[in-house]
């Protein structure tokens, strides 16, 4: 039997509870970071929602990584990363891990195993 070096966990539904995601609400949160736009809020939200479909599609179909900036670029909109607090707040309920994760990760590390987390969420840590 092969010796393990690492364990990889899926984020959503494994380490956290599964949530359906309201992508329109995500687009509304992203729209709050748009700057220098001469478009009405509904158009901005629609462009961000459509851009999300394109960026997620590239990630899903071509395994391309994506950033929040990629969403704005695809939508043709400028944004200020300092104004993304509504976006981070939108994702906050989806990030609460199972209370047993910390202990389990500590045990895996004590066994000399590396731990990885797989997530397809386009989200960066606050302040980065």
In the block, which residue shows the tokens 């599964």? 18
pLDDT at 128 over 50: no
pLDDT on residue 120: 66
The mean of the pLDDT values for the chain is 86
- pLDDT tens digits, one per residue of 21-61: 898 999 999 999 999 888 899 999 999 999 999 988 888 88
* Predicted structure pTM score: 0.74
């Amino acid at each position: 039997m092969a010796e393990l070096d690492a364990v990889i966990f899926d984020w959503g539904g494994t380490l956290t509870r599964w949530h359906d995601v309201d992508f329109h609400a995500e687009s509304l949160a992203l729209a709050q970071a748009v700057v220098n736009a001469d478009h009405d809020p509904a158009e901005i939200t629609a462009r961000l929602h459509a851009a999300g479909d394109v960026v997620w599609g590239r990630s899903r179909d071509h395994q391309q990584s994506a950033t929040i900036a990629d969403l704005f670029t695809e939508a043709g909109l400028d944004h200020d990363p300092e104004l993304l607090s509504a976006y981070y707040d939108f994702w906050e309920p989806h990030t609460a891990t199972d209370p047993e994760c910390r202990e389990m990760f500590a045990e895996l590390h004590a066994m000399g195993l590396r731990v990885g987390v797989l997530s397809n969420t386009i989200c960066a840590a606050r302040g980065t």
